[in-house]
Amino acid sequence: MAEPPPVEPSGRDVRDRLSLWDRRPQPAAPLSDRQTDSVLELKAAAENLPVPPELPIEDLCSLTSQSLAVTLTAAVPESTEDVLLKGFAVLGMEDEKIETAQQFFSWFAQVQTQMDQDEGAKYRQMRDYLSGFQEQCDAILNDVNSALQHLESLQKQYLFVSTKTGTLHEACEQLLKEQSELVDLAENIQQKLSYFNELESINTKLNSPTLSVNSEGFIPMLAKLDDCIAYISSHPNFKDYPVYLIKFKQCLSKAMHLIKTYTVNTLQNLTSQLMKRDPSAVPNSDNAFTLFYVKFRAAAPKVRTLIEQVEQRSEKMPEYQQVLNEIHQCYLDQRELLLGPSIASTVTELTSQNNRDHCALVRSGCAFMVHVCQDEHQLYNEFFTKPTPKLDELLEKLCLSLYDVLRPMIIHVIHLETLSELCGILKNEMLEDHVQNNAEQLGAFAAGVKQMLEDVQERLVYRTHIYIQTDITGYKPAPGDLAYPDKLEMMEQIAQSLKEEQKKLPSEASFSDVRLEDPESCNLVKSGSAETHNPRHQTTISPADLHGMWYPTVRRTLVCLSKLYRCIDRAVFQGLSQEALSACIHSLLGAADSISKNKTQVDGQLFLIKHLLILREQIAPFHTDFTIKEISLDLKKTRGSCFKNNSYSRRSQVQPFTATLGATSKDQRCGVFHLQDNKNKAAINITKHVIILVQ
């Protein structure tokens, strides 16, 4: 059943419905503030609409003043007919005439319709304009949607391509990484194999008959060989490690044999050339330096480079150290072969020249050995850069030849003056002057000199003991030695006569040549010289106080001590000095007793006091303790106290043990006091015989 067609609402219904849109308080379609403003603007614009041009001029009077607000100066036609003609022209009715009411209403409807159309023209125009924009926007939107679709498609394609590219990039990076790893692995393998591959080339070079240790490629080959051995030794987990290590060791042995053979042949050829130049093998001192040093120094650069290479590697590998030791031994053997006969002949020559002068012989022999040691160290440094103890052993052996010649002479010297002078030469000139200034080069020489010095000191001590026994203890005084105080009075008279003669002589001749000679010490004292240079000393010193007037044992003792003081150790000197002074004091006591018997007791005591004072004054510079302490213990009273205490304890057994202990302690203290008294007495006895008199 067909639905009836919808009934179109009338104009009133439309207006009623439209009124519901904005009816308050519940509008059907409420407008926003902006929409309200737009409606008001449209309403204001509609109120000022222009008068239609086709409206007759007569109807203008019916319009209100408000509706005629628009200026009509230009729109007012000249006549009504023109207005109507234009209005009919606009309506397309210029050929028609209004004769009936129907035509008028038709015309009026057309006018109204035209007015309605004119009124909505701008809205329609705006609508058409907006519709055009809408169509353009729709077209743009369609284009945008199409572009978005294309972009989405492109994005999907981009993502696909990007994913594929990333995958390809990662695959390339992985391949490059694997390639780098393979290259590194290949290089690492090649580097490791390079050490093994060097075996063939090194072996070929070593077996070549044209190879020379002085060639430019020998030392680099030696360095490669060391690197290969060090690398293989540090990687025992490699395959065929023992085989290659043995082969490289064999190559190293060949290289060491070449170096050793070349160096040894060079040294031996030098020695043979020098020996051929001198058939007697006993060169004199003039050409010894030329023969034994210049030739070796000229040949040193030939082998020094190889020896330096061996020395630099000697701490890393034992093969190098072994070859270095063999080269050292060969060098030292050749030097000993050359120097041994030369030194022996030179020492023999010095001995023949200074057969009676032992001091000159020792001084010249030691000076010769000093030069030999210094020259040998300098020559050794021309060949080698590192020291060796074997050089000092060789020099000690060479110095021993001088020692073997000098020792038999030293042990037969009997004079203390000679022995003390020998000690001074060895100790002061050789050890302190030469050895201390160059201890490194003269170490071997110092050992020989110290041994020789010990022998001289031992001989000096032995001869001193004999001298004390024979010349001091066993001295038999002559009558003139005991002529006191006659000798002193005679010397005083001589001094007075000399003074009187000097007063009589003019001042130019005041110098006196009178000399007092000491036959024991060979010392000369010029009295005139002493008086000239020290006039104050002239008035204080008497001729009787000169050491020529001393008792012979005193003079001999002091001379002996002065010889020993700087030659032997302090402890030995102290013991010998005590022995010598003790013997001297005993001789003085005997002489004093003899003088007391021959003269008076006062003369004997004055003689003893005079010489004891001389001894005290002369031994003061030695700064040595010359006292001899003798301590004796007397335990008689202590023993008596013990017996007494024992008997007392038997009588009173009920007495506490503490009382007995106290009594025993008391008696022991008494014994201690007695012991102290004995010590004081012993000290008093020592004071009587001490050398240094207590002031």
The proportion of the chain whose per-residue pLDDT surpasses 90, expressed as a percent, equals 17
Q: Which two tokens stand for residue 391?
A: 């050089």
pLDDT value, residue 511: 37
CA atoms within 13 A on the CB side of 328: 22
Using CA atoms, how far apart are residues 186 and 181, in angstroms rounded to an integer? 8
CA atoms within 13 A on the CB side of 156: 5
> Where is average pLDDT lowest: 131-135, 199-203, 274-278, 558-562?
274-278
The proportion of the chain whose per-residue pLDDT surpasses 70, expressed as a percent, equals 72
DSSP 7: P
Confidence of residue 631 (pLDDT cuts 50, 70, 90): low
DSSP 511: -
Q: Which two tokens stand for residue 360?
A: 């000159």
Q: Which two tokens stand for residue 568?
A: 């032997």
**Residues 6+ positions from 112 with CB-CB distance below 8 Å:** none
The mean pLDDT value for 658-682 works out to 36
pLDDT value, residue 230: 87
Confidence of residue 6 (pLDDT cuts 50, 70, 90): low
pLDDT value, residue 67: 44
169-220 pLDDT, tens digit per residue, is 999 999 999 999 999 989 888 888 888 888 888 888 888 888 888 888 888 8
pLDDT value, residue 661: 32
Query: In terms of Cα–Cα distance, which of 518, 514, 521, 520 is closest to 538?
Result: 514
pLDDT value, residue 145: 92
**CB-CB contact of 22 with 31 (8 Å):** yes
pLDDT value, residue 681: 40
User: Exposure string (b/e) for 532-569, b if CB count within 10 Å is 16 or more?
Assistant: eeeeeeeeeeebbeebbbbbbbbbbbbbbbebbbebbe
pLDDT value, residue 160: 92
pLDDT score of 672 more than 80: no
104-120 pLDDT, tens digit per residue, is 888 788 878 888 877 87
462-519 pLDDT, tens digit per residue, is 999 999 999 988 889 888 888 888 888 888 888 888 888 888 775 444 433 433 334 3
Average pLDDT score, the chain: 76
**Residues 6+ positions from 649 with CB-CB distance below 8 Å:** 655, 660
pLDDT value, residue 691: 37
430 CB burial (10 A radius; 0-12, 13-18, 19+): buried
CA atoms within 13 A on the CB side of 273: 14
Using CA atoms, how far apart are residues 693 and 689, in angstroms rounded to an integer? 9
The mean pLDDT value for 565-586 works out to 88
390-444 pLDDT, tens digit per residue, is 999 999 999 888 889 989 988 888 888 899 899 989 888 888 888 888 888 888 8
516-566 pLDDT, tens digit per residue, is 334 343 333 333 333 334 433 444 444 445 556 788 989 998 989 888 888
The winner for highest mean pLDDT among 73-82, 381-390, 628-637 is 381-390
Using CA atoms, how far apart are residues 610 and 687, in angstroms rounded to an integer? 16
pLDDT value, residue 112: 82
Query: In terms of Cα–Cα distance, which of 452, 454, 442, 450 is closest to 402?
Result: 452
Q: CA quadruple 270, 272, 273, 277: dihedral positive or negative?
A: positive
**CB-CB contact of 87 with 55 (8 Å):** yes
Q: What H or E segment, with its residue span, contains residue 639?
A: helix 636-651
Verdict on whether the full-model pTM lies above 0.75: no
pLDDT score of 57 more than 70: no
pLDDT value, residue 323: 92
228-270 pLDDT, tens digit per residue, is 888 888 888 888 888 888 988 899 899 999 999 999 999 999 8
pLDDT value, residue 670: 34
pLDDT value, residue 692: 37
Query: In terms of Cα–Cα distance, which of 665, 666, 672, 671 is closest to 638?
Result: 671
Confidence of residue 40 (pLDDT cuts 50, 70, 90): confident
pLDDT value, residue 93: 66
Max CA-CA distance within the chain?
218
pLDDT value, residue 299: 87
583-614 pLDDT, tens digit per residue, is 999 999 998 999 899 888 898 899 899 889 98
Using CA atoms, how far apart are residues 31 and 36, in angstroms rounded to an integer? 6
**CB-CB contact of 292 with 338 (8 Å):** yes
Confidence of residue 80 (pLDDT cuts 50, 70, 90): low
Using CA atoms, how far apart are residues 195 and 232, in angstroms rounded to an integer? 8
Helix residue ranges, H only, 541-600: 552-564, 570-598
pLDDT value, residue 593: 92
The mean pLDDT value for 337-345 works out to 87
Confidence of residue 683 (pLDDT cuts 50, 70, 90): very low
Q: What secondary structure does DSSP assign to 16-80, as a single string?
A: HHHHHHT-SSS-SSPPPHHHHHHHHHHHHHHHTPPPPTTS-GGGGGGS-TTTT-S--TTT--SSH
